[in-house]
Amino acid sequence: MQNEPNSIEFDPHSQMIQFIWSDDDLTLAFQPHQLRLHCPCAFCRAQRVRQPFFVVQEDITVKAINSQRYGVQICFSDGHDKGIFPWSYLKEIA
Ligand SMILES: [Zn+2]
């Protein structure tokens, strides 16, 4: 699954983000905390290797979601926006 989802739905109240591939009958749902924990940027990857526990605040929220051709950029409330989550990676961490 490398293709862009048909739609991305974000509920600001619950902070639930849903990626919907209606062509493939697939929906992946995430909370911001889960995505932030798995941020694929080089900085966070290095942090996770160095530290046994990569800590993310439980109440982290999403400020913006920018769909790119190959993945989605998430801007988090802690100011971090470096990670672009490839579509296939979302499936791995779901
Ligand atoms: Zn990161």
**Which residue is it, tokens 């672009």?**
84
Residues with CB under 5 A from ligand 1 (ion): 39, 41, 44, 82-83
Q: What is the pLDDT of residues 34-59, one digit of tens each?
A: 999 999 999 999 999 988 788 899 99
Q: Are 81 and 32 in contact (CB under 8 A)?
A: no
Alpha carbon distance 25, 88 (integer Å): 15
- Ligand 1 centroid to residue 21 C-alpha, Å: 25
Q: What is the pLDDT of residues 59-87, one digit of tens each?
A: 999 999 999 989 999 999 999 999 999 99
Helices and strands counted in the chain (H then E)? 3, 6
- Ligand 1 centroid to residue 28 C-alpha, Å: 20
The answer to whether residue 1 scores a pLDDT higher than 70 is no
Q: What is the pLDDT of residues 20-30, one digit of tens each?
A: 999 999 999 99
- Architecture of the domain whose range is 7-93: 2-Layer Sandwich (3.30)
- Ligand 1 centroid to residue 25 C-alpha, Å: 29
